[in-house]
Structure 1
Amino acid sequence: MKPADVCIAVLVAVIWGLAFVASRIALDELSPTMLTALRFAIGALPCLFVPRPKVAWPILIAISFTLFLGQFLTQAYGIGHGVPVGLTSVIVQSQALFTVGFAALLLDERPSRVQTLGIAIAAGGLLMICGTVGYDFSVQAFAVLMFSPIFFAAGNLLLRQAPGVPMFDLSTWLCLIAAVPLLALAVVGDGAQPTWHALSHMSLKVLICMLVIGLVSTCTAYWLWGRLLRDYTAAQVVPFALLVPFVGSAASSIVFNETFGPLRLAGMLTVVAGIAVMLLSKRAQVLPKVVGA
């Protein structure tokens, strides 16, 4: 990769890692549903200027509801109910494990021995993390969060149904499709008055966080990542995603004084190590081409 593109890949990983921290700050004032709805409503603004990608509506809806709505709503729920930001960033990246598993089950893409080893390592790390659940956050919050990488993996496979589509156009329209039901869900679930109160009394700090999440983390970062995947192989680009949980964990430790016990820290590092084994194997092209926060 060109040095400039390496810098772009690192920048995207840093943006996505910091987005976890921004989400945690915004959740002090917004419900998980409202945060997710605003994220995509802001991310959908470029739809005013870009055409709808030439992808059938059922495919667009399926991708949006898994890769965007499902992934980020469950992610926000987990963070909003006490799951540490650093741990969340690691759990979300375990989507690589589920993507390989789904590809093997549904598409008969058998993982290599090295990828199988990586899956086993990452699964062991998840089991270690499970052993720490119930102390500083609930089992329910962790269970909901675990759906985030599953939705992520399903969306990764569905993306194959939209080959050659401009990434920026696709991501903005996926945002629009996710934003509409999420806004309705926020009004119904949170109540019309609390929803309006949250929007009308939003602090400047949270507004800035939402603009960063919607315009920078969602629109800009996904566009840059798509450009890299257009110009280079997945094996060259995807390993940079390993930086995301490290950035998220480091930032959360600075901003929120977040610490991890020995077992949880060992589990997080084991998950990342397993993902690294999978991503760096010779058959990394079967892994996801889109990651984020």
Structure 2
Amino acid sequence: MRHRTTAAFVFLSAIWGTAFVATKVGLASLPPTLFAAMRFDIAAAVLFGFAFIRSDRLRPTSRTEWYPIITGGMLNIGIHHAFLFSGQAYIDNAAVPAVLLGLIPVITPVLTRLTTSSERLSAVGVVGLVLGFTGVVVIADPKPEALLSSDLMGVGLVLASAVAFALGAVLTHGSKSELPFFSIQAWTMLIGAVFLHATSVALPWESFAGARWTLDAVISLVYLGVVAGAGGFGLYFWLLDHIGPIEASLLEYVIPVFAAIGGWIIRGNAIDTNTVIGFAVIFVGFLLVKRADVRRELVRLRERSRTAASDAD
């Protein structure tokens, strides 16, 4: 299970890192909240298809089963993406959203103390979080004037999206449901999509007529809906259930690394010294937060090596 969660963590970081590049491409042609809504229309359709094939029950039947669906759909999908996509439309410098979302791992431990969540972070873990956030800032390399001049409205919206995402993770963690996994995720995506469509309709500056359906916009929408939406959020909620909100929030420290790699592969952006240094700082922060797991793994490997040596003798 440890290796499975590690693989899922890295894979999801790669998916959501490249999603930043796809989002920027789509926002050039599509209204932001409508873009987010259609992304989760696609994600919900894909997941309902999987649920129909793989699950023995599609519909929630109790308040206990509806709670994580409505909470996750409204906060992690709806409110988070309404704020995030709208904020990104105001901000030209892609480094600014990366830094602001890097606050999610810092916000999450604070929110856990305001809920019934039993997950806590030690003093050394706090140092690890601070180092991780420092690494994100180094990779993003935002100029001080960018944080101040990128429309204050955009900065506020992205910061609000970070709070909404962290709160959704904390409130849904530990929720018990007998509804099959694919059914839960399908309904969560649908709740989020409905909220985003309602928000888009309510915004006077957004309209379906304002969308320009370029090939790049369609490709980015499909990628965000199928891969980053259906696949990515399904993987995220699986991770949340297995490692908890604090450790799952550390995704925001690895995503910028893959965003930089994705920008290099897709758009030809150079990977500079800041990216390498930032990744090293993030890695040290990870080791501090995950030091107990790393120590257990080293002990296990040492014992396996001794056993192998004894058997050879």
TM-score (normalizing by structure 1): 0.75
Aligned to 1:202: 213
Give, in whole Å, the separation in 2 of the partners of 1:163 and 1:85. Answer: 37
Aligned to 2:263: 252
| Paired residues for 1:105-120 under 5 Å | 105-107=114-116, 110-120=120-130
Q: Residues 233 and 63 from structure 1, CA distance in 2 versus in 1: closer, same or farther, beyond 3 angstroms?
A: closer
| Paired residues for 1:139-288 under 5 Å | 139-160=152-173, 162-163=175-176, 166-190=180-204, 194-198=207-211, 201-226=212-237, 238=248, 241=251, 242-252=253-263, 255=266, 272=282, 276=286, 279-282=289-292
Deviations 1:184-235 (A, max 9, x none): 221231468x31352xx412221111111011111122334555677x6569
Q: Residues 124 and 105 from structure 1, CA distance in 2 versus in 1: closer, same or farther, beyond 3 angstroms?
A: farther
The answer as to whether partners of 1:85 and 1:249 remain within 8 angstroms in 2 is: no
| Aligned partner (choices 81, 106, 109) of residue 72 of structure 1 | 81
Give, in whole Å, the separation in 1 of the partners of 2:147 and 2:101. Answer: 19
The answer as to whether partners of 2:37 and 2:197 remain within 8 angstroms in 1 is: yes
Cα distance, 1:89 vs structure 2: 3.5
Q: Residues 268 and 151 from structure 1, CA distance in 2 versus in 1: closer, same or farther, beyond 3 angstroms?
A: farther
Aligned to 1:52: 59
Given residue 37 of structure 1, which amino acid in structure 2 is its aligned partner? A
Aligned to 2:17: 17
Greater Cα radius of gyration, structure 1 or 2: 2
The runs of 5 or more residues in structure 1 that have no matched partner are 285-293
- Residue range with higher mean Cα deviation, 25-34 or 109-118: 109-118
The answer as to whether partners of 2:40 and 2:190 remain within 8 angstroms in 1 is: yes
Tell me how large the CA RMSD over aligned residues is: 4.0
Aligned to 1:85: 94
Give, in whole Å, the separation in 2 of the partners of 1:181 and 1:94. Answer: 25
- Residue range with higher mean Cα deviation, 156-165 or 74-83: 156-165
Deviations 1:245-282 (A, max 9, x none): 101133235655768999x9899769946863664254
Cα distance, 1:170 vs structure 2: 2.0
Given residue 252 of structure 1, which amino acid in structure 2 is its aligned partner? G
Q: Residues 266 and 138 from structure 1, CA distance in 2 versus in 1: closer, same or farther, beyond 3 angstroms?
A: farther
Cα distance, 1:239 vs structure 2: 8.9
The answer as to whether partners of 1:252 and 1:258 remain within 8 angstroms in 2 is: yes
Does residue 74 of structure 2 align to residue 62 of structure 1? Answer: no
Deviations 1:117-147 (A, max 9, x none): 2344467779996944446622221121111
The answer as to whether partners of 2:97 and 2:155 remain within 8 angstroms in 1 is: no
Give, in whole Å, the separation in 1 of the partners of 2:225 and 2:168. Answer: 19
Given residue 162 of structure 2, which amino acid in structure 1 is its aligned partner? P
Give, in whole Å, the separation in 2 of the partners of 1:4 and 1:276. Answer: 17
Q: What is the percentage of aligned positions where both structures have the same residue? A: 21
Does residue 148 of structure 2 align to residue 138 of structure 1? Answer: no
Cα distance, 1:30 vs structure 2: 1.2
Give, in whole Å, the separation in 1 of the partners of 2:35 and 2:108. Answer: 26
Cα distance, 1:44 vs structure 2: 1.3
The answer as to whether partners of 1:168 and 1:222 remain within 8 angstroms in 2 is: no
